[in-house]
A and B are shown apart, each in its own frame.
Chain A
Amino acid sequence: MRKLSAIIALELYALLLAVFQYSVGVRTDEAKYLLNIPYPHPPFVRFVLSSTEWLPFQELFWRIIFATLLIQSVWLFWSFSSSLSVRQRAALFVAWNFSAAVIFQAGTVMMAPLTAVQALVFVWFYFRFKDNTSTIWLLGLFWLVSLFTAYQALLYAPLVLHIFWKTKASFSLKIAIFSIPVALLALYSFTNPLALASMVNVAGKDGAESFLFRITDTGKLLLLAGSFTGSVLGTIGLLKKPHFGLLASFILVLFYVLLGRYSYYAILFTPLLMAGLFMLIDRRSVQSLMFVGMPLGACCCLAFWPPQTEPSLARQVMNQVDLSGHTRVMMVGTFGHEWQYQSTVPVLRYTSQPTETDLIVCLEDCTDIEEETGFQKQSLFGVAVVRSQF
């Protein structure tokens, strides 16, 4: 009964976070997955997401699913910490659910939180069973699924390799089951030139940032990952009782975040920090710190780096505009995929000679377009909307 109550309470928490994210609207990366736009990540999850495009409430549906997966994955700790006391296990529960990264990411339809849950499953495999020989192929299958969810799963390759290494399977079988998914991912990448091009493009954009800026940004994300307290304690745990797989994956994530520094990368640290916390949890002082420090740290993170609460521009404009009678939306200026998602008609870039059934959305100045076309303009949320008649 107590367990059921805990599940319900966690689910309500997940629903709350999902609804909060829903109020903000679809972000450009989320639109990529919901619409199965073929970059930057491999196709497995985005194919599943886009198969529900026919659902009028597709966005909310998947926000609830993703939030549930992230919040309820706390039961993985329950499973691998069976030797611990209830107090110790509760401390781990608190640590995960008060991680600022979990709070900020729960309910987003992104690959980073999904990869974090998959990483937590690998941590579960690592701690739960001394020997995974009897399920080595299943482990390989899960590794394959993780890689075809997001390229980021490669960051946990050292952890996965360590789990394989500990099995009693033959050397060649271990290497084969580990390497085949990686090789398939590499092959897939060559079939999707857009994904490769987008990675090169992103790497190029970030190239100009100074090293100090990168370090401070990475530090900020590490603090978000564990709400200060968990970040410090988790890192201490990883360093104090070094396990090759966990530590090497932590270093890989560190370098990856150093290069990219997108805010949603913070959650990639969290499963590893939780592993570090698990290794320190027998100390009563650590448990007390987690009960008090985690919620406090989460509040500080929310105060210093508040999440976006205003609905996205695309949602605001598209909810306001009446698209009946229009066959296309033409965008002037740089725009994200969230415009494609929010629009009920196809979206394309502005070209010359729009027709009367086109609606033009100007994210940049388009006075010359008004003059050329003779269309009328309306200002909505700081954006000019131009069409033949209102």
Chain B
Amino acid sequence: MLSVILPTYNEVGNIEKLLKGIADVLKGEDFEMIVVDDNSPDRTWQKAEALKAEYPYLHVIRRTKEKGLSSAIVCGFNEAKGNVLLTMDTDLQHDPAIITALNAAIGNGADVAVASRYIEGGSVGEWVAGRRYLSKTATALASRLPRVRSTDPMSGFFALSRSSFEHVRASLRPTGFKILFEILSFLPKQSVLTEVPLTFAMRGSGESKLSFRVELQFLWQLFRIGLIRMQAALFLLVASIILLCTLTRLFALLPLYLDAEARRSVQASLTQMADERGWLLSDLSVRSVSRDSMTILHRFHHRGVDEVRCYNVDFQSSSVIPCGN
């Protein structure tokens, strides 16, 4: 069965035409429609409820505590009963006729099917230059991160198999608008992706929800997914740097732990130097130790210009000579 998830916010002018369009395309098919409304001020949810009499396979979820396109889609996916999950925009910019192609792609074994504006036959329609540029930039930034690559990871018109959704469900942190981007980032690399061309139509009624806040959310999402994709490398890099630095230093200090005589000599020398010169022990740092001598650094820990001086200390003669002399 196909589940069509329709996230809405202030789409009262478009919802009836959209539902009719989908019902016409999927006539005779086994499907359900789930409207997930974020408590629209224009009462889109109420209009959808009224249409249930006409479409008995229509379910309406009205969310009052949570808001956001991505979380609405995930909410719909969670409630859906179908084994193919599909979502699309509800402002009439997506042609319902493409649903058939997306559904068929999943039926033919694809894990994800994406309606792409950037493959042959697809287009962004009549967008103004500014919006066109913004979309291309966002797509360029986002296209390299996901494990499963798509020409249009920002698309809001896509379908996936239930098993693919179950695989990524726990990893999803749905914020902002771009849930496909997140899904593609967590699917296994070997997942099969099919693309069908999409021509973006003009919006029906209502206003675009794209705002500066949404753009910031996208940047945050990019950063978060980027961090998650690189997390193993980051961990191993930091751990390796710490290991290298500590092993180098530990090797230089080994006699301190293995040789009781060297340990006694170090302690005695440090105490003697500190007493003679008034140095604090915390201002001294032992850099290397051997049976006969050690190298230390002294720093006054004085705010501002604070020289660090190196000294070689001979245990036998108790001489303290600046390094390099």
Contact = CB atoms under 8 A, between A and B. Distances in A.
A356 interface: no
Contacts of A349: 274, 278-280
A311 interface: no
B234 A134 contact: no
In this complex, the member of B256, B277, B280, B306 whose beta carbon has the largest number of chain A beta carbons within 10 angstroms is B280
Contacts of B234: 137-138, 141
Interface stretch (B22-30, B115-123, B191-199, B296-304): B296-304
Contact of B300 (A82, A141, A181, A348): A348
Contacts of B280: 340, 348-349
Contacts of A337: 282, 301
A174 B257 CA distance: 32
A135 B228 contact: yes
Interface residues of A, number: 46
A191 B249 contact: yes
A374 B235 CA distance: 61
A188 B249 CA distance: 9
B50 interface: no
Interface string B255-291: 0110000000000000000111111111101100000
Interface string B162-189: 0000000011000000000000001000
Contact of B246 (A35, A188, A193, A340): A188
Given A180-B239, A194-B281, A349-B278, A134 B301 contact: no
Contacts of B303: 35, 53, 58, 341, 344
A350 B277 CA distance: 8
B243 interface: yes
Interface in A345-360: 345-351
Contacts of A133: 170-171
B247 A187 contact: yes
A317 B282 CA distance: 23
Contacts of A381: none
A347 B300 contact: yes
**Which of B243, B256, B281, B282 has the largest number of chain A CB atoms within 10 A?**
B282
A191 B302 CA distance: 23
Interface in B143-158: none
A350 to B, nearest CB: 6
A140 B239 CA distance: 10
A225 interface: no
B250 interface: yes
A361 interface: no
Nearest to A198: B282
A332 to B, nearest CB: 11
Interface stretch (A36-44, A96-104, A106-114): A36-44
B231 A194 contact: no
A187 B274 CA distance: 27
A148 B239 CA distance: 11
Contacts of B243: 184, 187
Nearest to B168: A134
Given A191-B250, A191-B253, A193-B286, A181 B170 contact: no
B210 interface: no
B231 A39 contact: no
Contacts of B286: 193
Question: Interface centre among A37, A188, A191, by most B CB within 10 Å?
Answer: A191
B279 A340 contact: no
Interface in B204-254: 227-228, 231-232, 234-235, 238-239, 242-243, 246-247, 249-250, 253
Contacts of B300: 340, 346-348
Contacts of A193: 253, 256, 286
Given A184-B242, A345-B302, A137 B285 contact: no
A181 B246 contact: no
A205 B50 CA distance: 77
A252 to B, nearest CB: 24
A53 B246 CA distance: 25
Contacts of B276: 351
B186 A347 contact: no
B246 A187 contact: yes
B277 A190 contact: no
A340 B302 contact: yes
Contacts of B65: 82
Contact of A144 (B232, B235, B279): B235
A346 B302 CA distance: 5
A256 to B, nearest CB: 23
B186 A134 contact: yes
A137 B231 contact: yes
A281 interface: no
29 contacts: A35-B303, A36-B301, A37-B282, A39-B282, A82-B65, A82-B66, A130-B170, A135-B228, A135-B231, A137-B235, A138-B227, A138-B228, A138-B235, A141-B235, A144-B235, A180-B239, A181-B239, A187-B243, A187-B250, A190-B246, A340-B300, A343-B302, A347-B302, A348-B277, A349-B278, A349-B279, A349-B280, A351-B276, A351-B278
Interface of A: 32, 35-39, 53-54, 58, 82, 129-131, 133-138, 140-141, 144, 148, 177, 180-181, 184, 187-188, 190-191, 193-194, 330, 337, 340-341, 343-351
Nearest first, the 10 A-B pairs at minimum CB distance are: A134-B171, A348-B278, A137-B231, A346-B300, A131-B170, A191-B249, A349-B278, A351-B278, A35-B301, A187-B246
Given A184-B239, A187-B243, A349-B274, 6 more contacts: A32-B282, A53-B303, A54-B304, A131-B170, A144-B235, A341-B303
